[in-house]
């Protein structure tokens, strides 16, 4: 199986390609981001991301989105809302709670924290999403 990692910006956004399966990690592709309030911390990209629009610039369907935490340079609402609401989102507890409040994505799954995970963690939520990919129903 071929694995390709594509860094999409000078921050934390990545496209992870496993042959026919595409995962978007922590996308922030346009607009500014701020934490707590704009007066406290507002940032913009110092270097423009390699893409501005997933659908237009990549010409591919994203199969899953992973959000590692709730800070807006990882969980950027404007960028996420530019993606299809049917893409399953896998996010940490705080990020998944935030994303659910937007009432946008149809499927938001919580990734357990390392402290809460059993020793043999299994994620089995992709079953049936894209049957043509012939992906296993369980990912360990």
pLDDT in tens, the chain (140 residues): 788 888 776 678 888 888 788 899 988 776 655 555 555 555 564 556 556 666 666 657 889 999 998 777 768 888 899 889 999 999 999 999 999 999 999 999 998 776 665 565 555 544 445 444 444 444 43
Q: Rounded to an integer, what distance in angstroms lies between the CA atom of residue 1 and that of residue 50?
A: 25
In a domain, 138, yes or no: no
In a domain, 13, yes or no: yes
> Where in the sequence is the domain holding 123, given as residue range(s)?
3-133
In a domain, 139, yes or no: no
Q: Rounded to an integer, what distance in angstroms lies between the CA atom of residue 59 and that of residue 55?
A: 5
CATH number of the domain at 106, please.
Answer: 3.60.15.10
In a domain, 104, yes or no: yes
In a domain, 55, yes or no: yes
Q: Evaluate whether 12 touches 23 at the Cβ level (below 8 Å).
A: no
For 130, phi and psi rounded to 5 degrees? -135, 75
First to last CA, the chain: 16
Q: Evaluate whether 20 touches 27 at the Cβ level (below 8 Å).
A: no
In a domain, 11, yes or no: yes
Q: Provide the number of structural domains found in the chain.
A: 1
Q: Evaluate whether 25 touches 64 at the Cβ level (below 8 Å).
A: no
> Which residues on neighbouring strands pair with residue 33, listed in sequence order?
43
Name every residue whose Cβ is closer than 8 Å to that of residue 107 and which is 6 or more positions away in sequence. Answer: 86, 87, 88, 89, 125
Residue 19, pLDDT score: 79
Name every residue whose Cβ is closer than 8 Å to that of residue 94 and which is 6 or more positions away in sequence. Answer: 69, 70
In a domain, 18, yes or no: yes
In a domain, 65, yes or no: yes
For the record, the structure tokens of 72 come out as: 């807006």
Residue 133, pLDDT score: 46
Residue 3, pLDDT score: 86
Residue 51, pLDDT score: 61
Q: Are strands 3-7 and 14-18 parallel, antiparallel or unpaired?
A: antiparallel
């Amino acid at each position: 199986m071929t694995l390709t990692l594509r860094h999409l910006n000078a921050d934390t956004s990545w496209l992870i390609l496993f042959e026919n399966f595409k995962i978007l990690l922590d996308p922030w592709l346009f607009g500014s981001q701020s934490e707590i309030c704009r007066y406290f911390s507002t940032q913009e990209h110092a270097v423009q991301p390699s893409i501005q629009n997933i659908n237009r610039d990549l010409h591919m369907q994203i199969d899953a989105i992973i959000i590692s935490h709730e800070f807006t340079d990882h969980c950027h609402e404007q960028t996420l809302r530019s993606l299809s609401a049917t893409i399953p989102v896998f996010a940490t507890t705080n990020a998944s709670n935030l994303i659910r409040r937007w009432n946008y994505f149809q499927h938001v799954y919580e990734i357990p924290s390392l402290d809460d995970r059993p020793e043999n963690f299994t994620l089995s939520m992709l079953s049936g999403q894209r049957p043509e990919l012939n992906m296993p129903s369980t990912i360990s």
